[in-house]
Structure formats: structure tokens, C-alpha cells
Amino acid sequence: MFKFFRYTSSVRSEEGLPSLRVFNPQNTENTIIYAWILKYPDDNKVALPSVHLTKKTRITLVGTNIKVRKERAAKGCIVDLSEIHWTQFPSKDAIVLKIEFAAKSNHNPLKILHRNHQHHHRRHHQPEEDDSEI
């Protein structure tokens, strides 16, 4: 399954959110996810493991009103681009999907970064023992 993609997001309303936040929390009604597909998949399908569908989830091709077929997967969802003719893509460099009403998620990417930083810091910055006599 194809894995050359990145996510970003926006919110419909900033009400109740910190103005200096580093990421947008995934809220079904408020958050819009954008999946940037950086290389067209050979089998026309892209697995999006962090995107979980709801009954209301809508996925469209950015810059168009073209709806993209989707299905649930063991992890996240799979989108199928096979029904979209190549002339309908606004860009040939990257495909951007607009994903609305995806399931709520409490994932905090900063916790993973913090945990990885602590692990790296402990491994590479062990305090040196002091062999000097007092």
C-alpha cells in the first residue's frame, strides 16, 4: 500500500482553542484534514492510517468538488483514486485531499516528539562520573 503522504489541518472555528497551539486537535465537527499525496500510487489506492471514518466523513480533491471513494481499513482508511481521470487533478505535482468530518482523535504528536527527545537525550548525554578526589 502506498505511503508517500503528509497531513496538515485547519479548523472551522478557533473558539476555545489556544491561539499559540502547535497542532490542531482532531475534532469531528471542527477540524479539516488535508492529506498531501506526494507520488501517484501504482494501484490507485492510498492508505491513510491516521484518518478514521465516520458516517459523515467527506473526502474531496482540493480545488474541485470531486468526491473520492473511501473505505474503512484495519488502521484508518483507504482512498481510491481510480475513478478520477488524470485531467481532473488540479496539479500533477501533488494530490491534496480535503477530509471533513473524520472521527475525533486525542492523538498528541508532541508527546511522541517529547518521548523520543528524552530517550535520545538519555542515551547520548549520560552524566560523566567525576573521578576527582575531594
10-64 residue pLDDT tens: 999 999 998 888 888 889 999 999 999 998 888 999 999 999 999 999 999 998 9
Domain that holds residue 67: 5-106
How many structural domains compose the chain? Answer: 1
Q: Note whether residue 75 is domain-resident.
A: yes
Work out the mean pLDDT of the chain and round it to a whole number.
83
Q: Note whether residue 128 is domain-resident.
A: no
Q: What pTM was estimated for this model as a whole?
A: 0.77
At 19, the amino acid letter reads S
- In 22-73 the beta strands, taken as DSSP E runs, fall at 31-37, 45-48, 58-61, 69-72
Q: Note whether residue 95 is domain-resident.
A: yes
Give the span between the Cα atoms of 69 and 84, in whole angstroms.
10
Q: Note whether residue 115 is domain-resident.
A: no
Q: Note whether residue 67 is domain-resident.
A: yes
- Give the CATH number for residue 70: 2.60.40
